Structure 1
C-alpha cells in the first residue's frame, strides 16, 4: 500500500476525497489529512507519504508553496494539485515545481481514481526498474571496464585496506591472486610516435592499440592487469610465489615481449619501468612510485627498454607497516569506541611488533607514525595536546627513553584514552550547547508560525537532519512535538487573561488558523480551547468571586 496525504482547507472536500473512493482497491491508504501546507509539512516530517493531493488556495501556506518545498526537500513524493478554473495559471506554475498532475474542481471520484491508478502504475514501474536485477546486471557489465580502471587506479595512488581489495578482486573478477606483486609503467617514446601522426584522435588510437596488445599478452600468461593512468600504461603484475629474483625475471620476460610486439606491429617504441617487488597488494602504490622513478631513468639510459628500479636504486623492504587499516582501526576506537576498544586496538598494534622481524629503525618509525596519527586526531578536535600528554618535554624523547616496549605501550594507551575522554566530553558539551540554544530560540520565537526545523537549523549553523537527530535523542521527542507542547502551554497561560479572544491567543502562539490551533490543543489536552477556558479559567474566577 502506498501512503496518501490529503491537504485541503475545506473539511467537506477532504471528507469527499477520503470517503468517496475505495482507496484500498487502488493500492493506497489515507495516512492523514491537513488543512494547509504548514500542517502538511508538520505531518510529513514524522511520516513521509508517497503521494500528496493538495488544493492551491489555502490559508497560512498554499499549495504552490507546499509543492515547491516538497520538490526541494522531499523529491520522491508525488504531488497532485486541485484547482478551480480561476487558478489555472497557478496550476501551470505548479507543473514547473515538479507536480505530477492536476485536477479541476469539482473533482469527480472517477477522474481522481483514474489519475491515482496512473500514479500508482508509475510508482510501480519506477520501483520495478530500480529493482530489475537483470537490467542492473546488464548496466553493471557495461560499466565494468570503467569500474575496474577506477579501482586499479586507486590501488596505485592510495593505500586500500586488505578487506576491500579482496572484495573488489572477487566482484570485478580481477586476475590478481598471488603472493608476490609488482607495478610497471610504460610510456611511448615520443620520437617514434610520429609514425601515427600528431592528431589527438591518432594519439588515442595508438594508446588503445598498445593497450590491446598488452592485455592480450598479459592474459595469455595470467600475470595481472593493465590499464591507462594519465599518459602511462600501467601494469599490476602478480606472481604465484614471493621471490625477488624469480619475480623480476618473470616480469622482465613478459614486459620485454610486450615491448617487442608493440615495436613490431605498431612501428613505435615504448620504455617500461618496473617497480619494487612486494608481498602485498596494499604495498602496490609504493611499487608504482618506484616504477615511475625507474621510467624517469630513460633520460640517462635511453628509451625502448625495460628498466628495473632494483638495478639502479637499492631496494628497501619494510616488514612493519602502520597502514591505513591499522590507523583507521585505532582512530575509530578513540572517536567512537569504549576504553576496552581502545585497549584492544593498541594491543593489536603492539602485537605486530612482536610477531615480525623488524629492525630498531622500523620500530621507531612505526611508533612515531602511531603517535603522529593520534596527535593529528587531537588537532582536528582542537584539543590541548600539552594537557593530554602531561609532560614538560618532547613526547618522542619520552617514548624512546623507556626501557621496555611494554612501558611504551602503556604510555601510548594512556594518551589514546586521554584523547578519547576529551573528545567525548567536547561532544557532550557541544550537544548540550546546541540543545540550550535551540530551546532558548524556541522559547523566544514559538509565536512565529513559520518556525521550522530548517529555520532553527540555519540559526544554529547545522544541518536539519543532524539537528533532528540530536533533538530527538536529547529531548526524547521530535522537534515538532516539543514545539507544539511549548505553544499549547503558552496558550494555557494566555487564557488566564479573559480579555483575550481565542483566535488572538492562537495567533500569539504561532497558529494563525484557529481550526489548526484547536486541533492541536484538543489533541494535547483532550478538550477544545473554549472548553478548557470554561473549566479551568472561568470556574476559577467564579470561585474567587464567591
Structure 2
C-alpha cells in the first residue's frame, strides 16, 4: 500500500479528493490530511508517507515553502501540486522544487486515476530497485566477511605463507596485525564419548546461528572463525581493551546459556599481538577449552611455555615412507614439554594433532581420525607420560599415513580444485600449487590438463571470471575493486582478459545484465 498525505486549507477540496476515485482499489491509502504546510510537516513526522498532494495557496505555510522543506528533508517523497490556470507563479515554483506532477482544479476523476497509476508504477519500481540493491549489498558484505574469516583462520593455524599474507591489506586486515587480541574457543563437549555425536548434531546449528547473531553486534571488535572439519567449535578473535574483551566474551557465554539451556565449554587465551603470534593464542584457547574439568582450568593465560612446534619440519617428516624420523622428533619435543609440566605436554599433543590435520587437509585425506579427541579431549589428559603420549599419537599417525598412501590422483585433484575455489582471490601459480601438493611442476601441468580438460591458467581464469561476473551483476563495485577481489593484478589487465573471454567489456556486460533483470 502507498501512503498519501493531502494538504489543502479547504475541507471541500480534501473531502472531494476522497470521493474522486477508489483509492484502496488502486493501491493507495489516504494516511493523513493537513490544512497548511506546517501542519503537513508535522504529519510527516508521525508516519511514513510516499506521496504528498498539496495546494499551493495556503495560510501559515504555503505550498512553495512546503515543497522546499519536503525536497530537503524527504527527498524520496513524490509531490503532486494542485493548481489552477491562473496560478502560473505557483506552477513555476513547483517545477523548481521538483514536483512530479500537477492536477488542475477542478480535479477530474479520470485524470487523478491516471496520475495515481503512473505514480504507483514509479514507486513500485523504486522499491524493487532498493530491494535488489539491499540484497546485493548483503551478499557482498557476507562474501567479504567470509574472506576475512578465512584469512583469520589461516593466521590461527599458523599459515603465514606469502600468498596468504599478501591479501591482508586488500581485505583490510592490516590493523589487526598491530592489535592486541585474545582468542576464545566456544565448544559443544560431551561428558561421555557416546554422547558426543548426538549432542553436537542437536545443538550445532542453533549454536552457530546464535554466535553469529551476537558477533554481528560487535563486528568491528571480533571475528568468528570456524574450521569446517570441527563444526562444534567456534573461535572468537577479539580486540579492543582487555577488560572489554573479557566482558564481551562472558556476555556471549551467558547469552548462549540462556538460549540453549546449558553452559558451553569456553577456553580463553592470553593476550598476543601480531599475526605471527595468533597461533599461540589459538593453542592457548584450545588447551584451556580442553582442560575445563582439570586443575589447569583456572590457568587463564599460558606464560613461559616452550616455543612453537616446528610443524613444517614435522609435516616433511610425516610425508616420508618411514615414520620413525617423525616419531623420534615427536618424542624429543614431548620430552621437552613434559620437563616443564603436564600441561605443556598436553599442549604439545594438540599441536602435533593439528599439524597432522593440516597435512591431511592439504594433501590427500579427509580429517576423520581425530574427531573424538576434540569432542572428548579429557582422554588426552590421562596421558601422563611421554611413552603413553607417543603410543597414543602413533596410532593416528599410522592410520593417517595409510590413508594418504591409498588416496588416488582423482581424490588429490578434488583437493586441488577445492583449494583453487577457496583461494582464487590470492596469487596462485602452477609451480606454487605443484609444490603445495608435492608434484613436479611439469608433471603436475600435464596431470592437471588430463584431469580437468584444460590448462591450469585457463581453469583459474574461468573461476575468477565467474566470480567477477557475479560481482558485476549483483554489486555496484568499480572495476578496480572487482579486479582486486577476484585475483587480477589491476583493472586494466582484468578488462583486457574479460573482453578476450566474453568479447565485450565489463561495463558493457554489466549494462546488458541490468537490462534483463
TM-score under structure 2 length normalisation: 0.33
Larger Rg over CA atoms: 1
TM-score under structure 1 length normalisation: 0.32
